[in-house]
Amino acid sequence: MSPETTGLNRKRAAMLVPFRVLFRAVELLLLLPLRILQLLFSGLAFNPRLGVLRYVFGAALVYVVFAVALVYVLAPIRGEIGHYTLGPKLHYDAERWLATALHDSRGSFVGTFDPRLDSLRDVNFTGEAIDLGAYVANPDHKSIPVRQVPESFWQCIVYHEDRNLGGLLNPFGIDLPGVLKIPFSTARRSLAARRPVLGVGGSTLSMQFVRVIYKTPPHSNEGAFIKLKRKLTEWWLAPVVYRELTAGGDDAGLKQWAANHLWLAQRTGGSPLHGIEVTSRIVFGKEAADLTVAEQFVLASAVNRPIILLEGSERLNAVRLDRWRYIIEVRARTCAEKLITDEALQKEVLFELVAMASGPPDPKMKPRLHRALEAHAPALATVAQANPVIRANALLPSARYGIREEMKQRFGFAWREHIRGVTTTLDAAQNLDFRDSARTALATINTRYADRISPGYTLDPAAINDTQRSPGVVIAAANARGEIVRYYEQGDNAAYFGSPFARRADDGHYDANRESRMVASTGKILAAIAIANTLRDTPQSVYVDPRAPTAGLDTCARGNERQGRSALVSFACSLNEPLLTRAAQIGQRPIKRLIDGFGFTMPPPNANGEGTPPSTAAVLGQIAGAPRRVHHMAGAVLASLTGNGAQPLPQPTLIKNYDFALSEPTPSDELAIVPNRLIRADGRSTLRALLEAPLCHQAAGRAAGTLKELAHWCARRRNSVKLHFAKTGTQVTEDRDATVDAWIAGGVQFSSGAAYSYVVVVGTGSGSQPWAHKLHAAQVAAPLVDALLVDLEAEALGQPRKRTVGTRSAAASN
């Protein structure tokens, strides 16, 4: 071998030395744990000189190996596999738990939506597990999702519940010291109890989330095998939860779950409170973002030590106080001392905690809302303070159905994916006052016309039972912006927003083309607009009436004479024949434009394929539309007559603002109407006169219109009223005396300038279900309009409302 070759080989050997050292180090590193195990097993577990103790050491070593393998080997493998098998389900569960917060028009927290109102119908609100064969539906909780997790709350939770989170001892959702602690805890507890008792180990946040999912909280009386089964379930699923919530190294999901789903308060008169957002509103009366550092520490310290909200027996009150002081003086104080480095801030927080330790807080509620509950639902007033679901149900008993339906019509069945909370247009307390007035009026109407109401029906809310049902009752009033300020429905299907068959079963959206509820003679409002738009007619224009009386042409009397009657009388008395003729003369295209512009649906063609002329459909009220659509039409007329017709008028709404779960714009109202595009400005005086006629027309000095019962609300006769128009309508079957629907739609402007549109409808909405005999809008709907106008007048003029008496028990029971 040449010297050159030898030198080259030596250089190569020198270059390989580092690699040989590295591989040897890796080999020793891999063999070291095995060598240590070998020494431990041979020196302890298999050492005959230790006698019986070798079995104890052997079991301990096996358990240590199991713990290490569980934390560092099995957990990451399980997390990755579970990502594909359980990941989507976990995210769906998190979405299913979202609650929707409700605020009234003043911004006061009213409560949260009842889980039974979830449109997707996938929430188990029974409190018990439901066995569905291959799947067990565990009880669900509801939590308002927090927008941003308060940092002090998060730090305190981690300190108390998962101190090694994300570190070497807990890299994948299972804490090694917690697992190792179980045998020592088992021995200690078994000796104390003098019987085998399985010990406790440090449950990580991921393991606690598993408890939330599968409702397996520890119980003091659970047996060893049940506890072992629970712990194994938590170990099995915790790595999956941790993997899903920390994907990509981002722990935002973990923080969100900690803030949204942990149990923080109990004894609410119903389900416990989960999550910082809803609990902070009940315990401290503020949103999570407004909590002080001390308050954040208190709620974080309530994890596994939930706050007891409502008082009870003397013994319970003692436990309540003891629990509260433990949370404040031990757990929250520890967080303040360990986590706050700023000395001044620490003193401030400790001082606030000392002040709070005097006694557990009573649930917080706005005084005016509490007074409203005491007045209208006294049986629920106490429990509603602590329970956000009961609170919302009591404060918005009928509006909650309408709010749900409005959200569903905008976003479909999956509205909860978008919406974190809504601010309604209603003042909850004022609307409860009006609700009592409406219920009193309905009871009076029922008593007065009981002989004309069909068997099996009643208008009295207190008389509704399994054998007596109510036809649908809708009362709604909106301000000039289209915000509904008074809302009452008797029923739970939100008929104001349309018929059930017009709501698509696949996505929940409303399809106006499928609407079948005819609007009766309120459709003559379209005829009045069409006539006024011609700029040729006046209130004194004469139309031929083939059923006119021989005398008294300015009254609503009927006969068999063919004579001329004024346009004013035709509308005041809702005469079909004169208006049919005049509308047909105007032409079908202008009236069809109005029908489409206001969003109504034409009647379907007959068996021969022939369609109804638009003029006929409008005058006879054969066009179909939801009460909301009729209300929208009345609002557009009001806007035009008050000089505000140039601005788009959205559909009447119960929702003032949306609080979206993610950043997204409020969807525009595609059905907004610009009144001036449909109603000519030069025809307003004629339109006003024609639509005021049902209220204001007189014959021989006496009220003679279809709404003569409301003649005292005519603007010419009431100083507080500047403008008021209204139109009645009664829908019947082929039997002209079989009442299906009684309608009134109109608008009013008071002397203060406040203006309101309104709609009232009482009926079933179905021609196959008449509910009364010879009952018309003037008899049924007019008293409800009167009650509504009294309430609106008091608001517009700043007058105190008259409190309705004698309805308290009925209001509380429904």
Q: 224-245 vs 87-96: helix axis angle to the nearest 10? A: 90
pLDDT band at 814 (very low <50, low <70, confident <90, very high): very low
One-letter-per-residue 3-state SS of 81-109 = HHHHHCHHHHHHHHHHCECCEEECCCCCE
Structural domain includes residue 311? yes
Q: Does residue 191 have a pLDDT over 70? A: yes
pLDDT at residue 212 in the model: 81
Q: Which tokens in the block code for residue 744?
A: 């009134």
Structural domain includes residue 263? yes
DSSP labels for 287-340? -GGG--HHHHHHHHHTTTSPEE-S--SHHHHHHHHHHHHHIIIIIIHHHHHHH-
Handedness of CA 372, 374, 376, 382 (dihedral sign): positive
Task: Give 800's contacts (C-beta < 8 A, 6+ positions apart).
Answer: 794
Helix, strand and coil percent figures for the chain, each rounded to 5: 50, 15, 35
**Do 162 and 208 have their domain in common?**
yes
Are 547 and 574 in contact by the 8 Å Cβ rule? The answer is no
pLDDT at residue 776 in the model: 95
Structural domain includes residue 551? no
Q: Does residue 40 have a pLDDT over 60? A: no
Picking from 343, 368, 393, the residue at the C-terminal end of a domain is 368
Q: Does residue 283 have a pLDDT over 50? A: yes
pLDDT at residue 454 in the model: 96
Q: Which amino acid is at 531?
A: I
Report the range of poorest mean pLDDT among 145-149, 277-281, 604-608, 810-814: 810-814
**Do 91 and 33 have their domain in common?**
no
Q: Which amino acid is at 584?
A: A
Q: Residue range 339-367: average pLDDT?
A: 94
Residue with the larger pLDDT of the pair 176 and 131? 176
Q: Residue range 545-567: average pLDDT?
A: 93
pLDDT band at 667 (very low <50, low <70, confident <90, very high): low
Structural domain includes residue 289? yes
Q: Residue 757 — φ and ψ, nearest 5°?
A: -100, 155
> Cα–Cα distance between 119 and 45 in angstroms, integer?
61
Task: Give 255's contacts (C-beta < 8 A, 6+ positions apart).
Answer: 149, 154
pLDDT at residue 187 in the model: 77
> Cα–Cα distance between 561 and 553 in angstroms, integer?
10
Range of the domain at 98: 70-368
Structural domain includes residue 193? yes
Picking from 368, 400, 419, the residue at the C-terminal end of a domain is 368
Report the range of poorest mean pLDDT among 52-56, 171-175, 536-540: 52-56
pLDDT at residue 398 in the model: 93
Q: Which amino acid is at 540?
A: Q
Question: pLDDT per residue over 751-802, tens digit each?
Answer: 999 999 999 999 999 999 999 999 999 999 999 999 999 999 999 998 876 5
Looking at the structure of the chain, the number of domains it has is: 2
Structural domain includes residue 42? yes
Q: Does residue 10 have a pLDDT over 70? A: no
Handedness of CA 474, 651, 800, 808 (dihedral sign): positive
> Cα–Cα distance between 501 and 760 in angstroms, integer?
21
Handedness of CA 458, 464, 465, 466 (dihedral sign): positive
**Do 43 and 96 have their domain in common?**
no
- How does strand 307-308 pair with strand 263-266? parallel
Question: pLDDT per residue over 432-459, tens digit each?
Answer: 999 999 999 999 999 999 999 999 999 9
**Do 109 and 23 have their domain in common?**
no
> Cα–Cα distance between 702 and 696 in angstroms, integer?
10
Question: pLDDT per residue over 247-275, tens digit each?
Answer: 888 899 999 999 999 999 998 888 889 99
3-state secondary structure of 64: helix
Are 54 and 41 in contact by the 8 Å Cβ rule? The answer is no
Task: Give 373's contacts (C-beta < 8 A, 6+ positions apart).
Answer: 380, 381, 384, 391, 394, 395
Report the range of poorest mean pLDDT among 128-142, 365-379, 651-665, 736-750: 128-142
- Which CATH number characterizes residue 313's domain? 1.10.3810.10
**Do 337 and 220 have their domain in common?**
yes
**Do 35 and 78 have their domain in common?**
no
**Do 28 and 152 have their domain in common?**
no
DSSP H or E run through 264: strand 263-266
What is the overall mean pLDDT for the chain?
88
pLDDT band at 813 (very low <50, low <70, confident <90, very high): very low
**Do 90 and 198 have their domain in common?**
yes
**Do 151 and 274 have their domain in common?**
yes
3-state secondary structure of 274: strand
pLDDT band at 663 (very low <50, low <70, confident <90, very high): low
pLDDT band at 808 (very low <50, low <70, confident <90, very high): very low
Are 387 and 265 in contact by the 8 Å Cβ rule? The answer is no
Structural domain includes residue 205? yes
pLDDT at residue 777 in the model: 96
Question: pLDDT per residue over 68-122, tens digit each?
Answer: 899 999 999 999 999 988 888 887 777 777 889 999 999 999 999 888 888 766 5
**Do 143 and 25 have their domain in common?**
no
State the CB neighbour count (10 A cutoff) for residue 164.
Answer: 16
**Do 25 and 168 have their domain in common?**
no
**Do 177 and 284 have their domain in common?**
yes
Q: Residue range 44-61: average pLDDT?
A: 65
Handedness of CA 383, 388, 390, 396 (dihedral sign): positive
pLDDT at residue 64 in the model: 83
Structural domain includes residue 535? no
Q: Does residue 804 have a pLDDT over 50? A: no
- How does strand 472-479 pair with strand 738-750? unpaired
Q: Does residue 13 have a pLDDT over 90? A: no
